[in-house]
Amino acid sequence: MFKSKLFNSVIVQTLTKMGHTDQIAIGDAGLPIPENVERIDLALTFGVPSFMQVLESVSESMQIEKVLLAEEILKHNPEINRKILRQIKKIEQSQQKIIDIKYVTHEMLKHQTAECKAVIRTGECSPYANIILQSGVIF
């Protein structure tokens, strides 16, 4: 049996196929997902699972070198932004590497999802709770 905190087999498979600079997105329930990108739909109901639950689980199983966030989160969802930054600090400490944080417009973030290996849809129903994680290397 595979030994990890992350149980979702589709997410695990996607992460194991990722190489340096590949990207995966985690989005709220309303994030549009391009037709050509794998949709990993975890949404069950309002808020379940939460964006942060999914981000915490995925980020602990992935080497991350860069994240993209919508700049609109700063004004419209500062609490989620603070939680994201706390999680990034936690991951930086475990990876012993700095993660580059880049804020772009929400339109640019949505456009970038077309380049992702997959988009994980959560049950989150708060504005701009979306992130793109870029894979780093473990050496």
Which of the 8 DSSP states describes residue 35? T
Q: Is the alpha carbon torsion for 64, 22, 36, 9 positive or negative?
A: negative
Annotated binding residue 128: yes
Annotated binding residue 28: yes
Annotated binding residue 76: no
Annotated binding residue 81: no
| Secondary structure tally for the chain: helices H, strands E | 5, 6
Which of the 8 DSSP states describes residue 59? H
Is 132 in a helix, a strand, or coil? strand
Which of the 8 DSSP states describes residue 116? S
- Tell me the catalytic residues: 20
Annotated binding residue 29: no
Indicate the annotated binding residues for substrate.
28, 106, 128-130
Indicate the annotated binding residues.
28, 106, 128-130
